[in-house]
Amino acid sequence: MSETSRRFGGAPDRRRLLRRFAGAAAFAAAGSVARRAMAAPPTAGDPLYSLLNDSQHDEFGQNFDQASRTIRMPKPTAPMLSPQTAEITQQAVQTYDDIVARGGWPQVPRIDELHLGMRHPSVVNLRQRLAVSGDLDPNAVGNDIYDSYVEAAVRRFQDRHGLTADGILRAATLDAMNVPAETRRDQLKLNISRLQTLTTNLGPRYVVNNIPAARVEAIENGIAVSRHTAVVGRPSRPSPEINSKIIQINFNPYWTVPVSIIRKDLIPIMEKEPDYLGKNHIRIFDVHHNELQPSDINWYSEDAVHYTFRQDPGDFNSLGRIRINFPSPYGVYMHDTDERDLFSGDYRWDSSGCCRVQNVRQLVYWLLDETKGWPPEAIDQAIESGDQINVNLAKPIPLHWVYVTAWSASNGVVQFREDIYNRDGLGAPALPPGTKT
């Protein structure tokens, strides 16, 4: 069910990774304070300010006056899925109950774009909206200038909603901003049961692919040591929810085209582009492993589904240079890709069910960390050799493909994602024009 790397420098070893993220424990203590900021706007005497404004330079690279009251996003080391996620999310429900009881937040009027330096009446509503959700200091409301404080608050909002955090108000950010507070509260409530099921017996090392977030995390000892933007199944070909274990890495893999893609994609393409297979290094084999020519197939029938279509290894391969294998009844896997521009958009539900992983080599460094003979330099050499090489993990690593649209992690920051497969039952997801269905 899959489809049609940049070279990394040496990855740090595990001890350096753990030292790098050693400060993450501090955010567990920060969680309750950050949640209070959402429940009621903080005041100058509130410890939230000393906790979240202890630096003149936030994670987005925006400089602020030391006296700023701007609320900042904690560093992203808290994993989305941990033993504490369900409990912390339950606390977030109480916060959003309070927001709803106070009347929710105002709608921001429709506008093509707002960005730093602009002046517009809608900025007044925007400031009020961001203050209610705790993204903007409540003392910063009341004027119509899109200044650096508003830009930083929009960035924080975008980050919490899985959008490109550029501080510019466009359609996708505006759509997410105008989802009613009641709906967001209900999202949190219905995800509690999902999280309670998912957060038991996770173990010290595991990988999570959250499908609505289109994001993969490698988690070790309660810290998200590696995060990766992903591309997952489009609504008409959804990625399945899976609990499995990663058992093998394939370097320079072949790609065998699944029957579903032969029928839905390959046959229509070949009717229009007879040279498509040759241009994409895809060979045809019969049941006796004899190679056939495209002219041997009747492309105006279902004839093609009876043959094997296999793409040679290489940068042109739909799997890229790496495939991550795990047992499942769905025939899906995680992999590199030859279409890396897909990672740059806000809407990354574009595959036929598999999961494309950005910077997948970094993830493989971590996956093979406990497999003898496979340090980062050996992984680099295997990839650059161009040879098909299969490596079994010494210790299979638990893998969870989950469907979670709202949660609050140990840093206390409440996160929302759109219900791309409409499984929450709270209304149709906001899809952009041209989204594949």
Give the whole-angstrom CA distance, residue 194 versus residue 186.
13
Nearest C-alpha neighbor of 426 from the set 211, 191, 215, 108: 191
Active site residues: 335, 354
Burial of 115 (0-12, 13-18, 19+ CB in 10 A): middle
Within 10 Å of residue 113's Cβ, how many Cβ atoms? Answer: 12
Contact 39, 54 (CB under 8 A): no
Q: Which two tokens stand for residue 431?
A: 């899809």
Q: Which amino acid is at 152?
A: A
Contact 322, 5 (CB under 8 A): yes
C-alpha 150, offset from chain centre: 25
Contact 111, 169 (CB under 8 A): yes
Radius of gyration of the chain (CA): 24
Tell me the pairing of strands 334-335 and 322-325. Answer: antiparallel
Give the whole-angstrom CA distance, residue 16 versus residue 22.
10
3-state class percentages of the chain: helix first, strand second, coil last, to nearest 5: 35, 20, 45
**Opening angle at CA 102, ends 100 and 108, nearest 5:** 75
Contacts 24+ apart (CB under 8 A), 357-360: 357/216, 357/228, 357/230, 357/324, 358/228, 358/229, 358/230, 359/5, 359/6, 359/8, 359/228, 360/5, 360/228, 360/320, 360/322, 360/324, 360/334, 360/335, 360/336
**Opening angle at CA 161, ends 22 and 191, nearest 5:** 85
